[in-house]
Amino acid sequence: MKLTTMLMYDGNPRAAADQVTALEKAGLDLVWVAEAYGFDSPTLMGYLAARTETVEIGSGILNVFSRTPGALLQTAAGLDNVSAGRAVIGLGASGPQVIEGFHGLPYERPLGRTREVIDILRQGLRREPLEHTGRNFTLPLPADQGLGLGKPLKLLTRPERPQVPLWVAALGDKNVAMTAEVADGWMPHLFFPEKAADVWGSSLAAGAAKRSPELGPLQVTAGGMLAIGEDVKGMLDLARPMYALYVGGMGAKGKNFYNDLACQYGYEEAATKIQDLYLSGKKKEAEALVPDEWLEAGNLVGPESYVKERIAAFREAGVTHLQVLPATDDPAATVAQVKNWL
C-alpha cells in the first residue's frame, strides 16, 4: 500500500511545495494536486517536480472539458519529462457547476468524452500520429469542418515514457465501470470502505471483465483526515464543512453526484436536509447533519489501534494508495509514523 496526500486548491502553492518536500523525506509516495477553479494543477506540479526527487506527482484532477486532448497530451508529456518519469495524470469530468459556471462550456457526454481523451492520450504518448474519430473528438479535423489543411500529427518532442499512468475520478455506475475497464487507477471521493462493495462492486466487476491484461490491476486511491491520539475525535468536525459542501453545494437538486452517493450509502434523509440547508445559505446547520458514522469511517482519526483498523478497512476495500490529510502539528512525523505501518 502506497501513501499519498492531496494538496487542496485553496492553499498557497509555494508553502505547499515546502510541505511536500518534508513529506517526501518522511516517506510519502505520491502527492495529488487539485485545481477545481483555483490555481491550475500543472503549474504547481512542475514546481513540485523541481523541488522533489522521488515522490510521484499527480493531477487530482484535470477536467476533460476545458483542455483539448492535444493540450492534455502536451501537459502529460511535459510533466513526465520535468519530473523524470514521476507524473500521474488524474482525469475527470468534474461537474456542471465548474464546467458551465467557470469555463462556460456545456456539460455534455462526460463519460464518452473521458473515454476518448484516454484513448487519444495513450496514442499520443506512444508518439503515434493522432487519428481519432469519435462522438466528441475528431483528429485531424475533416475538410468539411475546417480549412482542409489538417493532417495527423504526432507529438513533436519525445515523451519520457510511452505510458504515463492515467487515473479517473468517478462515482456513477457507468463511469466507474468505464474506469475499471480502461484507466490505470480510480479516484473515488468521500469513500466509505465498508459500503464500497455495495455501491460500486457490480460496476467494478463489469469493467474488470473487459479490462486488457496489459493494464494490470486497477489502482485505487482513497482516504481522509489523519490524526492519531487518545483524544482527537473532535478533529472530525474539521471535515464537516467539506462533506457538507460536496453533498449540499456541489450542484443543484437532481444534479449532484455527491448527494447521490450519500443516498447510496443509506443517508438519503440526511442528504436531502443537508442540500436544502446548504442551498438556502444555512451552511453551519448543514454541516451539523453530516452523519458521524460516515465521518468516522471515511477518515483516520483516533487512537493508534483504531487508525490501524481503518487502514486495514481501506486495504480490504481494494485501496492501493492510502490518501491522508495530516491534521497535526508535525505532518511529516505523522506521515512517517503511518508509513511504518503499511
Cell numbers 443516498 correspond to 263
pLDDT of residue 12: 81
DSSP string, 140-183: SPPGGGS-S-------SSPPS-S---EEEE--SHHHHHHHHHH-
Q: Which residues pair with 321 in a beta bridge?
A: 2, 221
pLDDT digits (tens, 9 = 90+) for 259-280: 999 999 999 999 999 999 999 9
pLDDT digits (tens, 9 = 90+) for 301-339: 999 999 999 999 999 999 999 999 999 999 999 999 999
90, 33 contact by CB (below 8 A) = no
Cell numbers linked to 290: 453530516
Strands 166-169 and 87-92: parallel
203, 234 contact by CB (below 8 A) = no
Rg of the chain over Cα atoms, rounded to whole angstroms, equals 20
Could you give the maximum distance between any two Cα atoms of the chain, in Å? Answer: 69
Buried b (16+ CB within 10 A) or exposed e, 64-87: bbbbebbebbbbbbbbbbbbeebb
Q: Which residues pair with 30 in a beta bridge?
A: 4, 56
What distances in angstroms separate CA 189 from CA 129, 140, 142, 192, 259, one per listed residue? 35, 35, 39, 9, 12
pLDDT of residue 150: 85
Cell numbers linked to 173: 455506475
Judge residue 15's burial from the number of C-beta atoms within 10 Å of its C-beta, 0-12 exposed, 13-18 middle, 19 or more buried: exposed
Cis peptide before 140 (omega within 30 of 0): yes
Map out the domains of the chain with their CATH numbers: 2-232+298-339 (3.20.20.30)
Three-state SS sequence of 5-56: EEECCCCCHHHHHHHHHHHHHHCCCEEEECCCCCCCHHHHHHHHHHHCCCCE
Is the pTM value of this prediction over 0.85? yes
Tell me the one-letter amino acid at 165. Answer: P
pLDDT of residue 9: 64
Instruction: List the chain pLDDT tens, one digit each, 342 residues.
Output: 999 999 976 678 788 888 999 999 999 999 999 998 999 999 999 999 999 999 999 999 999 999 999 999 999 999 999 999 999 999 999 999 899 999 999 999 999 999 999 999 999 999 999 999 999 999 999 888 888 788 999 999 999 999 999 999 999 999 999 999 999 999 999 999 999 999 999 999 999 999 999 999 999 999 999 999 999 999 999 999 999 999 999 988 888 999 999 999 999 999 999 999 999 999 999 999 999 999 999 999 999 999 999 999 999 999 999 999 999 999 999 999 999 999
- Intra-chain end-to-end CA distance of the chain, in Å: 6
